[in-house]
A and B are shown apart, each in its own frame.
Chain A
Amino acid sequence: MNDLINDLYQEIILDHGREPRNFGECEPHNKSADGHNPLCGDNLKLTFLLNDQNIIEDIKFTGEGCAISLASASLMTEKLKGKKIEVAEEIFKDFTNLVSGSDEDLKVLNEEDSLYALKGVGGFPMRVKCATMAWHAFKQALKD
């Protein structure tokens, strides 16, 4: 099988694509946003609870999408749960650099992170939007 495809669809991505974790709506929540990919119609709704110490206590999502967008959302919720907002924002920056094939050095993510499995998206520029949909929803929720 082609290396590019194997890089894109690592086992962990297929797994999270089939069975996304933290799938549902967070109750109670005080932050939410919709993510939408106008190119393909994929969409998701992200909800989370930010406590008074600015820590993401719980975070969930629902939606429809391809394996890449679902896996990215699922892995994101796993990674961000329990993190302080400032850290989460650093992860956001690293992640978007990682999947867009940017040369910038990663600050908080490394090869040990499960999110690193999405690096293969860099080989498919048209799929970057799939991988970042949930992350942009997260950013949006912080703004609202």
Chain B
Amino acid sequence: MGDSKTLNLNVRKDFPILSKKILEKKDLIYFDTAASAQKPNAVIDETNDFYENHYSNVSRGVHTLSVESTFRYEDARKKVQKFLNARSENEIIFTKSATEGINLVAQTFYEKFMQKGDEVILSLIEHHSNLIPWFFLRDKYGVVLKFANIQPSGEIDIDHFESLFTNKTKIVSLTHLSNVFGTELNEKVISICKDKNVPILLDGCQSAAHLKIDVQKLGCDFYVFSGHKTYGPAGIGVLYGTENLLSEMPPYQGGGGMIGDVSLEGASYAELPAKYEAGTPPLVEAHGLGIAIDYMNKIGLDNIIEHENEITKYAFNKLNEIDFIEIHGGDNKRNSIISFNIKNVHSHEVSSFLDVEGIAIRAGHHCCQPLMKHLGVNSTARLSFGVYNTLEEVDKFIIAIHKCKEFFNK
């Protein structure tokens, strides 16, 4: 049984769902935070409070409730700005998800800066969310997509990546932390983009709550993440973009809130960030995200990261000792995510078996079908950890994995 000093964050009481019994008798062991994180009381309560005491539309009216709602919405933006260390609130655009953020950049960046035959560099490990928006550009406008290879460790092959650049390369878009391997993007990749003067978008879905993010230090031009993976509500996402680029790119959707002045002949557009926020935004969810950020700050991101690293390492070593387990990726450092297969047992079987033991893991292609093809599997099982997980849960999982193997190979 593992014990540890750092693991006593004492946060489990903050997450009401952790006292749920699965199938009426099993304690929930939630190892699917990479798909979506559970929500602390603070987020749940504050969301209710918003509806009960402060709710109205934002930036529209002048009455008291409109002021209270707008204050909360804009306050959340400030929190996100600090969380990412962006230079200004103008660089923080609220979207409905990371997916919407990537679509927004693909469309509007193309419109301003690209034409037929121009090139985008992606990689083999991208989530479908960071593939399909670019496929649209290929299909509609004849943009050329290039894909960086990966090494057996799961990291991008830097030499191959660098060889993909031409004078037609206009943008690079890569995952910051792989949702299959849990490996972090090598900083060299970003510096190569800087050297070549090509903007880079980082898909921060898996990094936002599991690494310390400083967009200025990172040097990325765009960074997207989803609130629901960072202990906040679903329905809210963030796009960070440098003010330079966001100012030059055209609006994404048209509607209320994103205009300067409208006549029947035409319209002028609002300044940043409103320019990219057409229509009534997910305002309560934005507030919830702000509260989730407060919550992470209260525990301390460094503590969260240390805690998760310890669990990840512990689980990795335990799994690595088992001969019927195949772990995908290398022995290199991973953050909070481990993908594996039990030899000769489909990941669906593993997931259903563990489910009745109360253990929630993800099985499938993780929205990374091109990567699955590369790995020569059509699905994997994935463990992913959050602030609330413990080494004891890993021990229970390991026992269940042995039972599972026995059951299917009897």
Q: Which residues of A contact B (CB under 8 A)?
A: 1-2, 4-5, 8-9, 14, 39-43, 64-68, 124, 127, 130
Contact = CB atoms under 8 A, between A and B. Distances in A.
A40 B408 contact: no
A68 B372 contact: no
Contact of A40 (B23, B355, B363): B363
Contacts, number: 48
Contacts of B352: 5, 8, 124, 127
A42 B347 CA distance: 11
A9 B364 contact: no
Contact of A2 (B348, B356, B364): B356
Contacts of A4: 23, 356
Contact of B349 (A1, A39, A67): A67
Contact of B408 (A14, A42, A68): A14
Contacts of B355: 124
B349 A66 contact: yes
B180 to A, nearest CB: 13
B41 interface: no
A130 to B, nearest CB: 6
A12 to B, nearest CB: 14
Contacts of B23: 4
Interface string B369-380: 100100000110
Nearest to B372: A41
A65 B346 CA distance: 7
B233 to A, nearest CB: 23
B378 A42 contact: yes
Interface string B213-242: 000000000000000000000000000000
Given A42-B348, A66-B347, 4 more contacts: A5-B356, A5-B407, A8-B352, A66-B346
24 contacts: A2-B356, A2-B357, A4-B23, A5-B352, A5-B353, A8-B352, A9-B349, A9-B408, A39-B364, A40-B348, A40-B364, A40-B365, A40-B379, A41-B364, A41-B365, A42-B379, A43-B378, A65-B346, A66-B346, A66-B347, A66-B348, A124-B355, A127-B348, A127-B352
Contacts of A41: 364-365, 369, 372, 378-379
A15 to B, nearest CB: 11
Given A4-B356, A41-B365, A130 B348 contact: yes
Q: Is the interface of B mostly helix, strand, loop or mixed?
A: helix
Interface string B328-371: 00000000000000000011110011011100000111000100
Contacts of B364: 39-41
Contacts of B357: 2
Nearest to B365: A41
A4 B369 CA distance: 30
A68 B346 CA distance: 10
Contacts of A65: 346
Nearest to A42: B378
Contacts of B348: 40, 42, 66-68, 127, 130
A64 B349 contact: no
Nearest to B379: A40
Nearest to B25: A2
Contacts of A5: 352-353, 356, 407
Nearest to B346: A66
Contacts of A43: 378
A130 B352 CA distance: 12
A41 B370 CA distance: 11
A46 B94 CA distance: 46
Interface string B306-348: 0000000000000000000000000000000000000000111
Interface in B65-115: none
B378 A64 contact: yes
A43 B373 CA distance: 13
Nearest to A39: B364
Nearest to A121: B352
B91 to A, nearest CB: 35
A65 to B, nearest CB: 7
Contacts of B365: 40-41
B131 to A, nearest CB: 14
Nearest to B363: A40
A42 B379 CA distance: 8
Contacts of A124: 352, 355
Interface in B7-66: 23
A41 B366 CA distance: 10
Contacts of B378: 40-43, 64
A40 B346 CA distance: 11
Contacts of A42: 348, 378-379
A86 to B, nearest CB: 33
Nearest to B410: A14
Nearest to B356: A2
Nearest to B26: A2
Contacts of B353: 5
Nearest to A68: B348
A4 B407 CA distance: 13
Contacts of A64: 378
A127 B407 CA distance: 18
